[in-house]
């Protein structure tokens, strides 16, 4: 999952980036509003974390602009001011949630997970695909009642496919949402990870859950 952070306090942006990367998210950062607006409109983000007080273009203006152009990416706004007026105007402008600074990192994580679920129509933090169970809060995977150990990258790919279950996901789409641009991209990186996950969740079972689509992609389907 790919998250765009628009925040001019560099130390805060960098700490959040580091923490989220450790959780397996791919992070883009914009340190001012102009860059943030450009990236929000051009990068394939799954969630945007948007500070309100920003140099050049403020967060509220960015939010209004991207909603006007039809970008529906969930937006979590950050504000230093815990004022009702900020919250109301932010929500009116199309923000999905709010977090007042300073915040605990765990709370940010919980909000991100909630936004992800809401956006994908997943009701709980657990996704079931046949007898495969993905617990997104605990980041645990089981199939047929047995725990399956995945590396952070394998987990990130499987979780993303689970959130988008029953949908055809092209290699390009998966690459855009799961890998850093600086990650030296071999076009078959997705295939490599899919093979590893298949070995862990599908190999010992008759019913396969990961389907290869003719042409270009994959689908997770029960």
Token readout for 13 is: 């942006």
Contact 57, 36 (CB under 8 A): yes
| CB closer to Ca ion, 53 vs 122 | 53
> Please, what is the minimum distance in Å from the beta carbon of residue 70 to Ca ion?
26
Q: Between residues 3 and 52, which has the closer beta carbon with respect to Ca ion?
A: 52
**How many other β-carbons are positioned within 10 Å of the β-carbon of residue 120?**
17
Ranked by CB distance to Ca ion, the top (closest) residue is 53
**Are the C-beta atoms of residues 8 and 34 closer than 8 Å to each other?**
no
**Least separation in angstroms between CB 184 and Ca ion:** 33
Place of tokens 């700490």: 15
The CA R_g of the chain, rounded to the nearest whole Å, is 18
Q: How far is the CB of 113 from Ca ion (least distance, A)?
A: 24
Q: Residue 95 is encoded by which pair of tokens?
A: 């923000």
Question: Is the Cβ of residue 76 or residue 134 nearer to Ca ion in the bound state?
Answer: 76
The residue among 6 and 150 lying less far from Ca ion, judged by its C-beta, is 6
Render the burial of 46-62: b for 16+ CB within 10 Å, e for the rest.
bbbbbbbbbeebebbeb
Q: Applying CB under 5 A, does 96 fall inside the site for Ca ion? A: no
Neighbours of 148 (CB within 10 A): 18
> Site for Ca ion (CB under 5 A): how many residues?
3
**Looking only at residues 22 through 51 of this chain, which bind Ca ion when binding is defined by CB under 5 A?**
51
State the minimum distance, in angstroms, from the CB of residue 32 to Ca ion: 10
Residues 6+ apart with CB under 8 A from 67: 93, 94
Question: To the nearest whole angstrom, how small is the minimum distance from the Cβ of residue 9 to Ca ion?
Answer: 6
Cα-Cα end-to-end distance for the chain: 22
Residue among 8 and 86 whose Cβ is closer to Ca ion: 8
Using CB under 5 A, which residues numbered 50 to 69 contact Ca ion?
Answer: 51, 53
Of 64 and 221, the one with the shorter C-beta distance to Ca ion is: 64
Q: 96 near 88, Cβ under 8 Å?
A: no
Options 1, 8, 33, 97; binder of Ca ion; rule CB under 5 A: 8
- Min dist CB 80 to Ca ion, Å, is 7
Residues at the interface with Ca ion (CB under 5 A)? 8, 51, 53
């Amino acid at each position: 999952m790919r998250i765009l952070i628009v925040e001019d306090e560099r130390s805060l942006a960098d700490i959040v980036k580091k923490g989220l990367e450790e959780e397996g998210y791919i992070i883009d950062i914009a340190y001012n509003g102009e860059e943030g607006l450009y990236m929000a409109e051009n990068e394939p983000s799954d969630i945007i974390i948007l500070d309100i007080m920003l140099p050049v273009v403020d967060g509220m203006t960015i939010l209004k602009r991207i909603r006007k152009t039809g970008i529906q990416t969930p937006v979590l706004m950050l504000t230093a001011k815990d004022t009702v007026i900020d919250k109301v105007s932010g929500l009116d402008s199309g923000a999905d949630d709010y977090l007042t600074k300073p915040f605990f990192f765990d709370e940010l994580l919980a909000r991100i997970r909630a936004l992800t679920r809401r956006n994908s129509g997943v009701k709980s933090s657990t996704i079931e695909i046949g007898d495969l169970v993905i617990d997104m809060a605990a980041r645990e995977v089981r199939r047929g009642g047995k725990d399956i150990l995945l590396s952070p990258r394998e987990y990130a790919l499987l979780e993303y496919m689970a959130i988008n279950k029953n949908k055809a996901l092209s290699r390009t789409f998966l690459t855009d949402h799961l890998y850093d641009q600086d990650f030296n991209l071999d076009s078959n990186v997705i295939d490599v990870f899919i093979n590893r996950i298949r070995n862990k969740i599908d190999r010992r079972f008759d019913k396969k859950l990961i389907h290869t689509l003719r042409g270009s992609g994959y689908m997770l389907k029960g």
